Amino acid sequence: MSHFPPLSMRKFFCNFIFGVALLSASTQFAGAWSLEEAAKPYSGTEVSVIFLDRPGYNAIIKLLPDFEKRTGIKIKYQIVPYENTREKEELDFSSNGELTVALVDLVWIGEFAEAGWIVPFEEIKKKYPDIIDPNFDINDFIPLILNAFGTWQGKVYGPPFDNYSGLLYYNKDMLKEAGFDKPPETWDELINIYAPKLTKNGKYAFALQSRRGETQSCDSFMRFLWPWGGSLLDAKFHSNLGSPKSQEGLNFRQSLEKYMPQGIVDYDHNDAVNALAQGNVAMITEWSAFYSTLVDPKSSKIVDKLGVAPEPKGPDGRKPALGGFSLAVASQANDKQKAAAWLFIQWATGKEIGKQYVEAGGISGRQSTYKDPALLAKYPFIQPMLDSWQQGVPEYRPRFSEWSKLTDIIAEWGTKMMLNQVSVKQGSDEIGTRTETVLKDAGYYDGKKPLAQ
């Protein structure tokens, strides 16, 4: 080392130290993205959003003070019943109202995106690179729900926020008494083996919420198409209800009726959940969000007897009911509000609060949250829900804007079918003809609109 002059050695050493310091500073800088720093320019901005009176929203409300404290952004939320949410949002967006975040049910995404009411994630990323958390990782969301709830025609608009899957809830004691130590694996088993033994002494094997409205069209009618290989529309958007597989599914629903309480055609979600909670029926297929109601001793008599499993399989596989909401930035918001809105959405659906959100009663859409075995053990409905999300169909209900018309048609004729006012064939034909008229008027058959659902 003697050939190095002492001065240059010192210089080399200094440069080395400087280099290392710079490198560590730069890595520290890259990892130093913080919500507080990113939100500084937007402190004091108000974000306005609609919430529902459901566990997922109550959970985020519990965590909100922390966000507001850290960012200085004020979240103004109003709680609205689900039935009025769409009309309230549409009136607000069409009249340049005050909402800065859109709560988007999966069946509204086509309409909201086509109307230009919500901003795609890519645009936010491009316009506000500084507020995107490098840790946000959009690919961490469960692919099916990101695709179904937050994506329209290949563009992501918002991350999934309030997530549901259909599950089979059952009364373990009633099943045990009838000689079953596990829930039915298939619909066929349910109707042929379980149902006859469970329907006796004023108790029923199954309750299917079928009230006129979205309950009939989504929870009752569509549930009996996909697992049988049927569907509402074929590839060219003509009715597929007349196909043998769709008919098989719908006829199955009719035959299941004799194992359900009378008046099932007027059962809404709370009626079906209550029938199970009071021990009057042995099984229901309901949204994952009702788990908390069923394990609450105030509303349920079967807290210790509750079993949860994925929905039964049909001849074509599981394909359970799929529903949920994403959050997206509203186009009508001003630039500052848009950034603040995204910071809120990013935080509410982020990895950081995933576990807290679940603990507070919400359902995170992130795969990383559910890697914690303790969480899975504590909440028995999570594993069946994750299993269901592996096999669902994003277009379980078509997500184009015409769904709002189709759901009314299906709700009317679906209940008429169940009441035997029309046969399954007649009802399917009526729904088919009316559906095709709506889609024809919308321009799907003459190429004016792409065949996207």
**Residues lying near other proteins in the complex (CB under 8 A):** 86-87, 90-91, 93-95, 111, 114-117, 211-213, 216, 261-266, 271, 275, 280, 401, 404-405, 407-408, 411-412, 415-416, 418-419, 421
**Rounded distance between C-alpha atoms, residue 346 and residue 159, angstroms:** 8
DSSP H stretches of helix in 351-423? 354-359, 373-378, 382-391, 403-418
Considering the complex, state which of residue 150 and residue 261 has its C-beta at the smaller distance from other proteins.
261
Supply the minimum distance, in Å, between the C-beta of residue 112 and other proteins.
8
Supply the minimum distance, in Å, between the C-beta of residue 419 and other proteins.
6
Considering the complex, state which of residue 19 and residue 443 has its C-beta at the smaller distance from other proteins.
443
- Taking residue 138's Cβ as centre, other Cβ atoms within 10 Å add up to 13
Three-state SS for 318? coil
Amino acid letter for position 294:
L
Q: Torsion over CA of 193, 196, 199 and 200, rounded to 10 degrees? A: -130
Considering the complex, state which of residue 333 and residue 393 has its C-beta at the smaller distance from other proteins.
333
Supply the minimum distance, in Å, between the C-beta of residue 187 and other proteins.
23
Cβ(42)–Cβ(343) below 8 Å? yes
Considering the complex, state which of residue 34 and residue 420 has its C-beta at the smaller distance from other proteins.
420
Supply the minimum distance, in Å, between the C-beta of residue 202 and other proteins.
9
Considering the complex, state which of residue 346 and residue 435 has its C-beta at the smaller distance from other proteins.
435
CA-atom Rg of the chain in angstroms: 26
Supply the minimum distance, in Å, between the C-beta of residue 94 and other proteins.
3
- DSSP label of 265: G
Q: Which two tokens stand for residue 124?
A: 């936010």
Considering the complex, state which of residue 178 and residue 260 has its C-beta at the smaller distance from other proteins.
260
Cβ(312)–Cβ(15) below 8 Å? no
Supply the minimum distance, in Å, between the C-beta of residue 120 and other proteins.
15
Q: Which two tokens stand for residue 397?
A: 């209900």
Nearest to 130 by CA among 37, 26, 22: 37
